[in-house]
């Protein structure tokens, strides 16, 4: 059987402060709360066709447990969100206005080829890449 991956379905991020992480992904990056399971310590955010799941550290879904993510011990390398339209200057201005510190817009390779992207960090130090459409 040949497995054919179409796109990322979801990413799970362990969160020490679920409320702050939810605000960042919704208010700054434009996700919306799709589903919340308070008993499990889970907030599922809609990010286009994909989901970003935030699992509370110490909650029922925090299978491996362990220390909270920090600058020295992250919980993933980065999450890449495909955005369109992609206006690097406007994105940087918005992110800066919202208190984030975006990096420079550069061409990087992604699932659809080379295109513009920039990096920033969420409130708990996870790197997020915002990726634009491929160069045509």
What CATH number labels 10-131?
3.10.180.10
Average pLDDT over residues 77-90: 88
pLDDT at 112: 84
The H or E element that residue 94 is part of is helix 88-97
Average pLDDT over residues 80-95: 91
Asked if 95 and 120 touch (Cβ cutoff 8 Å), the reply is: yes
From residue 95, give the alpha-carbon distance in Å to each of 15, 25, 86, 92, 126: 21, 12, 13, 5, 15
pLDDT at 12: 87
Label residue 77 by pLDDT band (50, 70, 90): low
Q: Alpha-carbon distance 23 to 48, whole Å? A: 17
Q: Which structure tokens are listed for 136?
A: 């045509």
Average pLDDT over residues 52-62: 85
Chain-wide mean pLDDT for the chain? 86
pLDDT at 5: 64
Average pLDDT over residues 73-87: 80
Residue 104: CA count within 13 A, CB half-sphere = 3
> Which of 63-67, 81-85, 107-111 has the least mean pLDDT?
63-67
Task: Give 109-124 pLDDT, tens digit per residue.
Answer: 787 889 999 999 999 8
DSSP letter assigned to residue 102: -
- If you search the block for the tokens 């286009």, which residue do you land on? 48
From residue 117, give the alpha-carbon distance in Å to each of 5, 35, 95, 131: 22, 28, 13, 4
pTM: 0.75
């Amino acid at each position: 059987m040949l497995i054919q991956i179409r796109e990322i379905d979801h990413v799970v991020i362990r969160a020490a402060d679920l409320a702050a992480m939810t605000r960042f992904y919704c208010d700054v990056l434009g996700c919306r709360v799709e589903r919340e399971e308070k008993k499990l310590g889970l907030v599922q955010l809609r990010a286009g066709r994909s989901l970003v799941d935030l699992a509370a550290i110490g909650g029922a879904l925090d299978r491996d447990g362990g220390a909270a993510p920090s600058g020295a011990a992250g919980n993933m390398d980065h999450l890449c969100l495909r955005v369109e339209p992609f206006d690097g200057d406007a994105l940087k201005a918005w992110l800066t206005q919202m208190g984030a510190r975006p990096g420079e817009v550069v061409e990087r390779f992604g699932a659809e080829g080379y295109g513009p992207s920039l990096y920033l960090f969420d409130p708990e130090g996870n790197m997020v890449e915002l990726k634009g459409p491929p160069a045509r």
